[in-house]
Structure 1
Amino acid sequence: MNGHLLWVFAIGPVLLAEALLARYEVLAYGAGWRAPTTELPEGVPYARGAAADRPPEAYLVYLDGIGKRRVRDTRDGGQLVRALLAGAPELRVLGQVQPYSPLADPLSDRPVWAWLRRRVGLLLFLHNVMQVFVAADHRYRPLYNRAVGSQIADQLRLAGYRPDSGIPVVLLSYSGGAQVATGAVDALHARLRCPLLLITLGGFHNGANDLAHATQLHQLTSAYDRIERVGTWIFPQRWRLFRGSGWNRARRAGKITVHRLDPATHLGPHSYISPESRLPDGRTHLDHTAATVIAVIRAGHDAPVATDRP
């Protein structure tokens, strides 16, 4: 028996266990067995950017892709958030939300996962992939949406947001974070009653969540993004045939605007957040993405950047 086959037999039971346990957090939340965590580690601010003693132009919550496993980390080491803070100092930015944990429990802080990370790091990503599909599953989706929506609302209030203030809240989501962002809309509307703008970057989501309480959704995408394209194929609610889905209702209402970031890819050295890959005009993909996000936020509903209607 070769080494690859032995690896499959060894890891198979672990993957099966993870598939069964992926639902635990959302069920524990629904049953009230555990309360979500709201405190952050020492030295981690609830938000960065505009000073807390004066209202910012908007609060931006960054919901990272499946690589998110602790409060501090992001897929690109925080480069996108830093670029947004440098280009738009009027924003107050939160990056600590745990989109793949209804209990707001960072994956890397759990003893078992810390041990696995040193030995089978791939499982950390597979855990979050499975959480995306739990969030998309119609049996668990309402609970998951309420849990993470409440987590975002709590973090916003701790960062200084006041309900009914009229200050916009922007949910910027990468990859699977879009499933969480679209699901958090109703909870944020109910708890904060805020103008809510969604920006998806290579968004991977099932299109089932209701976007009626979002003012607009800006879809940042690329013809070279295969992972986002897979999401539009595998989830029927993203197909135009399913006219009653939340995505298609929002499309007909004119709430979805597409922004092309070609030739960026979803992952790798040419990704949306690459600080090395450059466009013909000399800008990096990271510069292009950050500038597009800032332009969308500043322009509001009438963004004067190049767009295509879906």
Structure 2
Amino acid sequence: MIDFPLLALVLGPVLLAEALLARYEVLVYTAGWRRPTTELPHGMPYARGADPDRPPEAYLVYLDGIGKRRFRDTRDGGQLVSALITAAPELRVLGQVQPYSPLADPLVNRPVWEWLRHHIAIVLFLHNVMQIFVAADHRYRPLYNRAVGAQIAEQLRRAGYQPGSGIPVVLLSYSGGAQVATGAVTELHTRLHAPLLLVTIGGFHNGANDLTHARHLHQLTSAHDRIERLSTWIFPQRWPLFRGSGWNRAIRAGKITVHRLDPATHVGQRSYINPEALLPDGRSHLDRTTDTVIALIRAHRVTPERQPRPS
């Protein structure tokens, strides 16, 4: 049986410390005291999938949920990335972006966090949860968006992306990665002039970010996803009443399309990317999510005649 008073006594100070420290990275980045990490571990490619010697149909940047703490894929996110690379060889896929670190500094590279991982693992998740709320806070949101948008742009350049080439960039995000993906749109448009397509899976975000420069956002959701639904309740910018929010302006502009992936859940044995949970048609949840994402990307292909001009 869980002793809730004891749990609160233990986690209370941790949450308070996290709330105070979560702003540290974005302020350090803004002040220019540290340069963001750009190099990857030895032998790790900047992109996988399509032949690096030929332009791909699109670049796909995967922004994982709160379990992301290293350059390499998480277990669940890695299954999705691998499935996408196998089923869509025309894509060049990047999974190394650190959505919860404005300095692009993985938690596993920090000695204190390594100790915590072995002793109080939940703190790692709390750190990334707090980063989502920093990214959503109106005081820090522009700085956070600029920092992670710049990180994504740099990783895309190192993966071979040529600014102004017209090749689409797909921001595929899971859970809290949607806060980062929606926030990166303006910075990526400024730096790369790329056609931007967003696909959120169980997206947890505050709806405040400007999506003017996104071609479209596809929202993959489920009636059984309580965590995504929570974000529509706790963030007023997601409420229809706040017509001026970035999210509601995008809805009125016809830029948001909802795709139901019932009966998927946010996490667990029936999650969107579970390879074992089966649907009536025999596909796994992972198979259906992979098929849906690829179909949406291919439907938005940009031919040379349709390539937008940089503005």
TM-score class normalised by the smaller sequence: over 0.9
Spell out, residue by residue over 1:69-104, the C-alpha distance to the aligned partner (whole angstroms, 9 max, x if none).
001132505100000001100000000000000000
| 2:180 is aligned with 1:206 | no
Mapping 1:94-113, distance limit 5 Å: 94-113=94-113
Q: Which amino acid aligns with 1:125?
A: F
Counterpart CA distance in 1 for 2:10 and 2:245 is 41
| Residue 8 of structure 1: how far off its partner (Å) | 3.9
Identify which range, 177-186 or 74-83, moves more after superposition: 74-83
Counterpart CA distance in 2 for 1:280 and 1:76 is 22
8 Å Cα contact 1:68-1:75 kept in structure 2: no
**1:307 equivalent in structure 2:** none
| Residue 7 of structure 1: how far off its partner (Å) | 5.0
Counterpart CA distance in 1 for 2:33 and 2:95 is 26
Q: 1:223 to 1:119 in 2, by over 3 A?
A: same
Q: Which amino acid aligns with 1:40?
A: L
Counterpart CA distance in 2 for 1:277 and 1:194 is 36
Q: Which amino acid aligns with 1:19?
A: A
Number of residue pairs the alignment of both structures matches: 301
Counterpart CA distance in 2 for 1:47 and 1:73 is 12
| DSSP 3-state at the match of 2:113 | helix
| Residue 11 of structure 1: how far off its partner (Å) | 3.8
**1:114 equivalent in structure 2:** 114
Counterpart CA distance in 2 for 1:122 and 1:223 is 27
Spell out, residue by residue over 1:116-170, the C-alpha distance to the aligned partner (whole angstroms, 9 max, x if none).
0100000000000000000000000000000000000000000000000000000
Counterpart CA distance in 1 for 2:39 and 2:256 is 35
Q: Which amino acid aligns with 2:296?
A: V
**2:275 equivalent in structure 1:** 275
Q: Which amino acid aligns with 1:227?
A: I
Taking structure 2 as the reference length, the TM-score comes to: 0.94
Q: What's the Cα RMSD here?
A: 1.4
**2:62 equivalent in structure 1:** 62
8 Å Cα contact 1:135-1:145 kept in structure 2: yes
| 2:137 is aligned with 1:140 | no
Q: 1:232 to 1:42 in 2, by over 3 A?
A: same
| DSSP 3-state at the match of 2:291 | helix
Mapping 1:18-37, distance limit 5 Å: 18-37=18-37
**2:261 equivalent in structure 1:** 261
Counterpart CA distance in 2 for 1:7 and 1:186 is 41
| Residue 18 of structure 1: how far off its partner (Å) | 1.4
Q: Which amino acid aligns with 1:190?
A: T
% same residue? 78
Counterpart CA distance in 1 for 2:247 and 2:60 is 22
Q: 1:104 to 1:298 in 2, by over 3 A?
A: same
Mapping 1:118-267, distance limit 5 Å: 118-267=118-267
**1:93 equivalent in structure 2:** 93
| Residue 56 of structure 1: how far off its partner (Å) | 0.1
Q: Which amino acid aligns with 2:192?
A: L
| Residue 10 of structure 1: how far off its partner (Å) | 3.8
Counterpart CA distance in 1 for 2:225 and 2:289 is 14
Taking structure 1 as the reference length, the TM-score comes to: 0.95
Gaps of 5+ in 1: 303-310
